[in-house]
Amino acid sequence: MERKIVVVGSIALDSIETPYGKVEEVLGGSAIHFSVAASFFVPVGIVGVIGDDFPPKYLKLLSQRQKIDLSGVKRAEGKTFRWRGYYKGDMNIAYTVETQLNVFENFIPEIPKEYYSSGCIFLANIDPELQYKVLSEVRSNNNNIWLTACDTMNFWIEHKLEKVKHIFSCVDIVIINEGEIRQIAEEANLLRAAKKTFVLCPGLKSVVVKRGEYGVVVFTRDSIFCLPGYLLEKVKDPTGAGDTFAGGFLGSLVQFGKINEKNLRRAAVYGSVLASFNVEDFGLRRLLRLSKDDIEKRYNEFKFLTHFC
C-alpha cells in the first residue's frame, strides 16, 4: 500500500494581523499548511502554482523538509497568490482585507509522473470542477489510490452547489466546516445535515466536520466520534488551522494504512493536535519547530482532556 499523499491547493503569501501582532507576506495557503502537517507522518507531493516573485527563502524552507516533494509546484509568470486579513475578539472569524488571486486565478493543476504512485489525494479548497478534473486524471493514471478526500468553501457552495455535491460523491472523505455542511445540506441541525450529506453523496465513507475552537465531529454511516478542541490560553493566529487539521488527519490515516473506525478516531486526534499547535504562533512558525515527541505528548493530553470512566 502506497503511503504518500498528493495535495492540490493554494500556495500563498499571507499578511495577517491579530491581537498578538502582525506579519507580512509569510508562507501560507492550503497546500502548504496541509503538507507541512501531513509530512510529520508520510511523504507529501504538492501540486500548486507560485509567481515569479515567490521568495527563494520559502522554496528553500520547503525543499529542506525531506518529506515534501515540490515536483508539482509550477512557477508561472506574474505574482504569487496573496491574502491579507485580520482577527479580533474571540479569533473565530477571519476578516479579509484583500485577496489577490494573481497566478492562482488561472491555475490548472497537473499531476507530475513522480506522484502517480501515491496512495492518497487531498483536494483542498479550489473550484470543484478543477477538483473533479484532477481526481479523474489521478484515477486514470494511478491504480494505487486507496484514499481520496476534499474540502470546499462557502463561495463554491453558493456558486457551484451541484459541482460541490458531485465531487463529494466521488471521494471517500470530506473535511468541511460546520457552517458549510449546514449550507450544503440546507439543514441547521448538524446530525441531520450529516445524514443528508450521506444520502446526497452515495460513495462517501466519512464526513469530518471542523467546529473551530469546539473541535471536530467524525461521522461515518454508522458511527459518530466527537472530539472537543484543545483549550489554549493564547490563539495567536488561526490562519491555516483547518488545512493543518486536514494534513494531520490524512497524514496519520495514511500512515495507519486503512480506513476504519479506530483509525478515523486516532486521525481526528492527530489532526486536532497539529491544528492546536499551528494556532500557537503566526504562519508556520510553530509547526516548523515541532517534534514528533511534542505531537505524541499532546495526543496523550487529548486523552486526559476527554476520557472518563
| 214 contacts 202 by C-beta, under 8 angstroms | no
Q: Which is nearer to a copy of itself, 112 or 257 (CB)?
A: 257
Q: Which is nearer to a copy of itself, 95 or 136 (CB)?
A: 95
> Rounded to the nearest whole angstrom, what is the least distance from the CB of residue 293 to a copy of itself in the complex?
20
Q: Which is nearer to a copy of itself, 101 or 226 (CB)?
A: 226
Phi, psi values for residue 40, rounded to 5° = -75, -15
298 in the Ramachandran plot: left (φ > 0), alpha (ψ -120 to 50) or beta? alpha
Q: What angle do CA 28, 34, 38 make, to 5 degrees?
A: 135
Radius of gyration of the chain (CA): 18
DSSP state string for 21-48 = EEEEEEEE-HHHHHHHHHTTTS-EEEEE
> Rounded to the nearest whole angstrom, what is the least distance from the CB of residue 149 to a copy of itself in the complex?
19
Chain residues that interact with a copy of itself, rule: CB under 8 A: 89-91, 188-192, 195, 211, 213-215, 217, 223-229, 231-235, 262, 265-266, 268-269, 303-309
> Rounded to the nearest whole angstrom, what is the least distance from the CB of residue 182 to a copy of itself in the complex?
8
Q: Which is nearer to a copy of itself, 212 or 283 (CB)?
A: 212
- Among the listed residues 257, 194, 225, 212, the one whose alpha carbon sits nearest the alpha carbon of residue 94: 212
> Rounded to the nearest whole angstrom, what is the least distance from the CB of residue 286 to a copy of itself in the complex?
17
Q: Which is nearer to a copy of itself, 209 or 254 (CB)?
A: 209
> Rounded to the nearest whole angstrom, what is the least distance from the CB of residue 127 to a copy of itself in the complex?
29
Cell numbers for 90: 474571540
> Rounded to the nearest whole angstrom, what is the least distance from the CB of residue 193 to a copy of itself in the complex?
10
Q: Which is nearer to a copy of itself, 160 or 195 (CB)?
A: 195
| 278 contacts 37 by C-beta, under 8 angstroms | yes
CA separation for the pair 167, 152 (Å, rounded) = 10
